[in-house]
Amino acid sequence: MSTANLAQMISLLANLFTILIIVWVIVSWILPPYHPLREALDRIVDPMLSPIRRVMPATGMIDLSPMILIILVELIARILISLLVSIR
């Protein structure tokens, strides 16, 4: 597998995970907590949000941890892609 293909795969996975986080946020507003779709998304997204929530101060009713997670995912993807490009 070439580094260009690997970089595209990293970018695709980061974009898919970002979309998944956005869907999780929207679903958490609309569906009840015990809906099967919401429970499935919770099992995927919550383990990555928990460490962020432990570190961040409480902001009242607004949860900024999904936004922080999206920023971290994009940052990690860009770092990995830049490392792959520099290896070439």
Report pLDDT for 63.
86
DSSP string, 22-61: HHHHHHHHHS-TT-HHHHHHHHHHHHHHHHHHHHSPP-TT
Contacts of 17 (CB under 8 A, 6+ apart): 73
pTM of the model: 0.88
Report pLDDT for 85.
87
Report pLDDT for 46.
94
pLDDT in tens, 25-60: 999 999 999 999 999 999 999 999 999 999 988 788
